[in-house]
Amino acid sequence: MRKATARRAALAGLLLAAPAAAALAQAPRGSPPPASPHGPAAMPPAGPRGAEARRAELDRAFEALRTAPDEGGATLVEGRIRQLWASAATPSVTLLMNRGMRNMQAQLPAEALEDFDAALTLAPEFPEAWLLRAEAHSRAGDPAAAARDLQQALRLEPRHWVALLSLSVLQDEAGDAAGALRSVQAALGINPKMPNGANRLRDIRRKAEGDAL
């Protein structure tokens, strides 16, 4: 029971501390994003050209993430990727996401689910909404629904290392150590320098190898 509780806490941390935080902390439209070590980080403009520019910058950022020399460098690139993900949301979707996060922080997963459902009605192609709804499902005691939402987030953005790590927690909790190992390995292939990634890989590999014996 204690281990399951710890794994659920880990899932909550993974989901809320990364792209979710980017959505919650997204500045009002028109305000400048946080400074980058390479100069001001302008957001792509709205509209089709903006979406194309965002995709191109994401591609560059993910390559920089893969080749980051150390954890500090990777953290800087992660922040930019999360900015770009969050910037794809309309103001209405951002409002619903923020409200859903507040409801989760208030331990109100049912209300949070309503908020994320509404966000997905407006933006079914937005991976962050699927990611956050997965957390709400998990808190509401429905890991199967949480896993489905994580898989949908990954269909929309296969490079979403946070969704992969969160899925690995659910797989581990369900007794699928081999599946959890594959998810962690995939996450590390995208973000090799993520904090505690090597430790997580080592721990889940021991489980998977033990199950195979």
Does 15 have pLDDT greater than 80? no
Cβ–Cβ contacts within 10 Å for residue 144, how many?
Answer: 9
The band of 45, judged by pLDDT with boundaries at 50, 70 and 90, is low
Spans of all domains in the chain: 9-23+47-212
What local confidence, expressed as pLDDT, does residue 44 receive?
Answer: 55
What pTM was estimated for this model as a whole?
Answer: 0.78
**Strand-pair partners of 39:** 36
What local confidence, expressed as pLDDT, does residue 20 receive?
Answer: 44
Residue in 104, 108, 82 with CA at minimum distance from that of residue 27: 82
What local confidence, expressed as pLDDT, does residue 133 receive?
Answer: 97
The band of 96, judged by pLDDT with boundaries at 50, 70 and 90, is very high
Mean pLDDT across 20-32: 37
User: CA 10 to CA 167: how far, in whole Å?
Assistant: 11
Homologous superfamily of domain range 9-23+47-212: Tetratricopeptide repeat domain (1.25.40.10)
Higher pLDDT among residues 38 and 170, named by residue:
170
User: CA 48 to CA 154: how far, in whole Å?
Assistant: 22
Long-range contacts of 120-124 (CB under 8 A, 24+ apart): 122/90, 122/92, 122/93, 122/96, 123/89, 123/90, 123/93
**Strand-pair partners of 7:** none
One-letter amino acid for residue 191 of the chain:
N
Higher pLDDT among residues 103 and 39, named by residue:
103
Higher pLDDT among residues 73 and 13, named by residue:
73
Separation in Å, CA 193 to CA 16, 65, 67, 150, 153: 20, 8, 9, 22, 22
Average pLDDT, the chain: 83
pLDDT > 70 fraction of the chain, expressed in percent and rounded: 76
Residue 201, burial from CB neighbour count under 10 angstroms (0-12, 13-18, 19+): middle
